[in-house]
Chain A
């Protein structure tokens, strides 16, 4: 097959001649110029010749693996959209391909409409892609995330890698870890950033209404349907649909969602004709999705459709000093909002924050800080400002409650007077929940003395 030499030429690398003929005919009929090849070597030569930006690539080629070919294609021209073609049995391989940068995968057999939709989606993504796309390993912090811990840097890199693909993203993580922020970051870095981002919490909507919320309905299709309703899937056309708490979705609706993912069409409740939409799906759960599959509460085929690129968000307690970076940033922001003059977090509170388990993660931290900023004034957040129930979560008690051994003379023997003074003051501060005024009263010194001493110790700790 001869094709015009332009980057608009769709490159088809498929080794079964009949299938090559069928796919080329379908694409040709839809108005695409096609260069068809039967081997990896021919395909790479045609790619260099045509500089194709959309490539249909069969996974099993006679001379090389599709994965290797895709690496070469993306290395030569990173903006290339590779649509992988595979048979059912190689679904795991297809997942591997998506992770390696494939734009989409098609499972044989598929009809001409599905093929054309995939190619059109790829071309649309190219039109929306930035002139200088970020590389797959870009690990800069995507807004509005805060934190540079190793665990989060890995998450940022994954967001950067997956954003340029059409692959479904499955976000897992405890409540409050920022799953929706993650979904938004993927959307914002993708070629669809100019399109809508629609978030739907499957757990917050009654089962009876969820189908209508996702796929929409026509007026009169059921009692109470007084007007046509555009569902979330249609509202997200050209953008991203984020389905939070996906494991809460009813099994019947899961079947419809699967059909939607397979055909890219939606049929609103009460409608007879399906409508084609171009939507990228990102979903999230705070459960273990595979366990939900084992328990029969989540469809296995839907799981494999959605679980193409998993992103796990670490809990706050596993994010090193991110807790303090977030707290410092938020407390200043909240102070501005509430008309307070907080400028930061006291060193003792920083230590305390690092030691807390934070079962509610960032959401809990935000609530704690809001509580402090509303009820107190600055300039620093000190331990005595923290809500008492927060201290109850501490794994290592710092208040003198009997679990912590009292200071004995043995602790002080052999130390200098300055060291003994510091040990005694710090012990008093711990027993009083880091409250300097209360510790000062017990030690019968002025609070300013303790502030001065602590500042001196902090200064001595800091690098010169």
Chain B
């Protein structure tokens, strides 16, 4: 299963021309890079907020595995033991890396 469902991404790209595609790819990379740091924030409120944001964003762009990880972390929230939380956050960040890689490749193919 790819990090981003190409069919869903293609639907989003179909809403506009190349300029939208390039701008959207760049914005997605910027947002996911920001969220990569924010989900591991020492500030629990900021981390929870970022996880919630990942959930909505990932689902929209077709990053379904990431959306599921974020959903799990978001729903368990404060009930998680610190160690379990660290494991889930690490998994979430690793998946954000995969999504960022997929976006870089997509961006390359648009500009090529």
B90 to chain A, nearest CB (A): 21
Of the stretches A12-20, A356-364, A425-433, the one at the interface is: A12-20
Stretch at the interface among B15-23, B81-89, B104-112: B15-23
Which of B23, B24, B52, B55 is the most central at the interface, judged by chain A CB atoms within 10 Å of its CB?
A: B52
| A86-121 vs B, Cβ < 8 Å mask (1 yes, 0 no) | 011110000000000000000011111000000000
Chain A residues, CB < 8 A from B59:
108-109
Dominant secondary structure of chain B at its interface with chain A: helix
8 Å CB contact of A29 from B16, B30, B57 = B16
Contacts of B27 in A (CB 8 A): 17-18, 21
| B residues near A22, Cβ cutoff 8 Å | 12, 15, 24, 60-61
Any B CB within 8 A of the CB of A25: yes
A18-B57, A108-B56 in contact; A88/B15 too (CB < 8 A)?
no
Complex: A183 Cα to B31 Cα, angstroms: 45
Question: Could you mark each residue 154-171 of chain A with 1 if its beta carbon is under 8 Å from any beta carbon of chain B, else 0?
Answer: 000000000000000000
- Say which residue of A29, A60, A90, A109 sits within 8 Å of B60 (CB atoms): A109
B67 at the interface (CB under 8 A from A): yes
Q: Are A60 and B52 neighbours in the complex by a CB distance under 8 Å? A: yes
A13 to chain B, nearest CB (A): 14
CB of A26 within 8 Å of the partner chain = yes
How far apart are the CA atoms of A15 and B52 in the complex, in Å?
12
The reply to whether the CB of B97 lies closer than 8 angstroms to some CB of chain A is no
Q: How far is the CA of A16 from the CA of B59 in the complex (A)?
A: 13
Q: Mark A21-38, 1 if CB is under 8 A from B, else 0.
A: 110011001000000000
Q: Are B31 and A112 in contact (CB under 8 A)?
A: no
Residue contact B56 to A29, C-beta cutoff 8 Å: no
Quick check: A19 and B60 within 8 Å, CB to CB?
Answer: yes
Docked pose: A362 CA to B42 CA in angstroms:
61
Shortest C-beta distance, B60 to chain A (Å), equals 4
Partner of B53, one of A16, A110, A111, A112: A16
Q: Chain A's nearest CB lies how many Å from the CB of B25?
A: 10
- Residues in B whose Cβ lies below 8 Å from that of A89: 52, 55, 71, 74-75
Known contacts A21-B24, A22-B12, A25-B16; A87 and B61 CB within 8 A of each other: no
Which of A22, A90, A110 counts the most B-chain CB atoms under 10 A from its CB? A22
Given contacts A26-B15, A29-B16, A88-B71, contact A21 B23 (CB under 8 A): yes
Chain B residue at minimum C-beta to C-beta distance from A89: B74
B11 contacts the other chain (Cβ, under 8 Å)? yes
Whether B16 lies near A19 (C-beta < 8 A) is: no
- Contact of A16 with B16 in the complex, beta carbons under 8 Å: no
Q: Which residue of A lies closest to B27 (CB)?
A: A18
- Determine which of A29, A108, A110, A111 lies in contact with B55 in the assembled complex, contact meaning CB atoms within 8 Å: A108
Further contacts, 19 of them, CB under 8 A, given A18-B27, A19-B60, A109-B60:
A16-B31, A18-B24, A18-B57, A18-B60, A19-B57, A21-B20, A22-B15, A22-B24, A22-B61, A25-B12, A25-B16, A60-B49, A87-B52, A87-B56, A88-B71, A89-B71, A108-B59, A109-B67, A110-B60
A-B contacts, 11 of them at CB < 8 A, read: A18-B57, A19-B60, A21-B24, A22-B15, A22-B24, A26-B15, A29-B15, A29-B16, A60-B49, A109-B56, A112-B15
